[in-house]
A and B are shown apart, each in its own frame.
Chain A
Amino acid sequence: MLKIIIQKELSIYFRNLNSIFLPLVLFFLIISIFPLVLGPEKKLLEKIIPGIIWITTILTTLMSSNNFFKDDFNNGIIEIYLTSDASVELVFFFKIIACWIFTCLPIIIFIPLLSILFDIPFNSAFVIFITLFIGTPILISIGIFGSALTIGLSKNNILAPIIILPFYIPVLIFSASAIDSVSIGLSYEMQIYILLAFLVFILPIMPYLLKYTLRFSINN
């Protein structure tokens, strides 16, 4: 059962390769707009590039998690999930992981290229890599929670980001400060540990929360 669901999720993403490439292209496009707006001055860009990377990641994850349940909702699969005997929490867990693999992992993989483009020193690039690796699953699962809250609505494009962006703030603060610390030569372990704490707190809870939320969102 689980194997089938994982295979189904993966094949949906693989069949529609746009869903992998478009977030990545969007990510690079937004990032390359920033120097155009702020000017090519190297000192300034060096200082704000971690923030830019994080803001861009947020935008990308928001867009890709916004319609997370849309197809399953329109097909009626979610009702089947919720009424079936199968462990729906596990299904949701793997769906979150699949969504992360196909929308965030490409971005994370391309961080080395980005560090060449912006001439980020290795230390900072490494910490950006680590924080994105730990932070994006949190962002994705919160974003999916937002999409579960608004699934019953026909026009929810801008509502879900408004609801969930405040919940992103702690992750952002600690990631940005980890990158900040390493760029001025301080230790950054503490921030990484806190991010990890968020991750291990949110990832097991989220499937149950999603199940509970979807029960309310689609019972009419």
Chain B
Amino acid sequence: MSATVIIINLATLACFILAFLKDRQKAIRGLAVAAKAFIRILPLVFIIIILIGLLLGFVPQALIARIIGEQAGFDGLLLVAFLGAILHIPSLISYPLAGSLLEGGASVTAVAAFITTLTMIGLLTLPLEIKELGKKMAFLRNGLSFIVALLIALLMGVIL
């Protein structure tokens, strides 16, 4: 078991004990919310782990590396950034997918671009964003987020 696993589980336990001591009913309500969220995400968890297995089992590393690897060009980067922007994968299960891509030969830059556009930009939630915040703000936020995601990804490639 990794340190991350132990720390997060202990921290959560500590939070729950604190919450329970502060307000018993609220703490239990929090657990109920958690259980519901967990059930809701469970099918997606199984889908993503099957897809990851198939991805790493069937798609040759050379192919992944050619499209989004270290030597791949800017086109590959734009492609994954765009995919990240239009796909609607819950962020929690997108990290294992990103990890598998990295394992499968993708570059740090490509994976960072994918994760960043995926979380920052939501085409599916854009109508709601426009309704609540107005067209100008919604388009500016999503558009600039795309550019920012590319910049972050390129810098990540330089740093790591």
Tell whether A and B belong to one assembly. no
- Which A positions have Cβ atoms within 8 angstroms of B? none
